[in-house]
Structure 1
Amino acid sequence: MITGAHAILYSADAEADRAFLRDLLDTRSVDAGGGWLIIGLPPAEVAVHPTDGQPEHELYLMCDDVDATVADLRARGVGVDPVTDQGWGRLTAIHLPGGGRLGLYEPRHPVATAPPRP
């Protein structure tokens, strides 16, 4: 039986990115040994998109109000890309201390992590 999902981000500064995500997500974290921090994620969902190219995987955080979330992140000194409208949602990216970017979006489609809206 599948009990959860484990996402992996690769980073040039893993320690800084772990601390950043721990503080950003404010969820339960555990030390898996030797200071190797594993951070709990909020409820998640998975989608499978078709591709003509090489299969790849992406990770996005979701929020209910991308403008308010971006304003909060910027007030905390976090770099964030400009928000773009993709039709299916409003998309941006959070700048990680290790140099990577983590997608963030406000979905406009039904989400699997919440009960259906009336």
Structure 2
Amino acid sequence: MINGAHVLFFSQDPERDQEFLRDVLGFEDVDAGDGWLVFGLPPTELATHPTDATPTCELYLACDDISATIGELQDQGVEITRTVSNAGWGLVTALRLPSGAELGLYEPKHPHPGT
């Protein structure tokens, strides 16, 4: 049976992105060998949304209070790349990783599975 998920970021600056995940976001890591870091994530959920566009996958980190989280991230020099918008299922924005990639951030407005 499925017991978890493994998410991959393909980065042009993996060392800086790894430092960001560890030092800014506070994710614990283990070295899987040869410097390949694997980060533990908080509880995760998976949803499907309809689209008329090409099917794709997106990753959003979740928080309880998007305004407070944005403030904490900006205090650490993190660039917020999108204005917060209400997507119905949550308040959404994005932050910039050191490599230049964007990572979604949202405050859910729906019940959480398992609660």
Q: What's the counterpart of residue 30 of structure 1?
A: 30
| Residue aligning to 2:87 | 86
Consecutive unaligned residues of structure 1, counting only runs of 5 or more, are none
Q: Work out the number of aligned pairs and report it.
A: 114
Per-residue displacement from partner, 1:43-102 (whole Å, max 9, x unpaired)?
Answer: 000001122332211000000000000000001111113212222211111110000010
For 1:45, the equivalent position in structure 2 comes to 45
Aligned identity (percent) is 54
The answer (yes or no) to whether the contact 2:86–2:92 under 8 Å persists in 1 is yes
SS at match of 1:93: strand
AA aligned to 1:42 is P
Consecutive aligned runs of 4 or more in structure 1 exceeding 6 Å deviation: none
Indicate the RMSD between aligned Cα atoms, in angstroms: 1.3
Which residue of the partner structure matches residue 9 of structure 2?
9
Q: What secondary structure, in the 3-state scheme, does the structure 2 residue paired with 1:19 have?
A: helix
1:106 paired residue number: 107
In 1, the alpha carbon distance for the partners of 2:27 and 2:85 equals 27
Q: Which runs of 5+ in 2 are unaligned?
A: none
Deviations 1:12-56 (A, max 9, x none): 111111110122332331101111111111000000112233221
Q: Which amino acid is 2:50 matched to?
A: P
Where does residue 67 of structure 2 map in the other structure? 67
